[in-house]
Amino acid sequence: MSAETVSRCPGCGVVFSARDIEGMSRCPVCSLPFAARPSRPARPSAAGPLRGVHTAQAFVDPSTGHVVRFERAWLWALLFGPLYFAWRGAWFHAFMGIFAVVLTAGLAWLVYPFFAARLLRRHYLRQGFDPV
């Protein structure tokens, strides 16, 4: 059994397998050369916004290649509450949302959406998804 070689972009920090970036000299996410070591964090380029672990709005399941996007998570969490987290597969947050809504007589329904994107990001990272 051989270990798969992985590389991390020095600019955005996204991890790629060696097979995915074979023959590429630049990161497909932030367009920074792989050999370069920036003295300061990379800024968004014309190729697209800088996306990393703390700002990703989409994740890829490494086993299937399925991309999961969750733009405007705050809006969907505000409209549908815990059902949105259940639909996304974040069952822990769905049950915690229900518990918090009951405990606070509905006030949590207005607070939980502020943390929706952060909670989903952490959920997908723990599931082993890669940020896009």
What is the residue extent of each domain of the chain? 1-50, 53-132
Crossing angle of helices 91-103 and 116-126, in 10° steps, is 150
CB contact set of 95 (below 8 Å; sequence gap of 6+): 82
Axis crossing angle, helix 116-126 with helix 73-80, rounded to the nearest 10: 100
> How many residues make up the chain in this entry?
132
pLDDT over threshold 70, residue 57: yes
- The two beta strands, 67-69 and 58-60, are antiparallel
Q: Please compute the mean of the pLDDT values over residues 82-110 and round it to a whole number.
A: 93
Cα–Cα separations (whole angstroms), residue 18 to 7, 8, 12, 88, 96: 7, 10, 17, 30, 39
Tell me, yes or no, if the pTM score tops 0.85. Answer: no
Share of the chain above pLDDT 70, in %: 77
Q: What percent of the chain has pLDDT over 90?
A: 33
- Which tops the pLDDT comparison, 56 or 117? 117
Distance between CA atoms of 111 and 127, rounded to whole angstroms?
Answer: 25
Cα(26)–Cα(34) distance, rounded to whole angstroms? 6
pLDDT, average across residues 94-99: 93
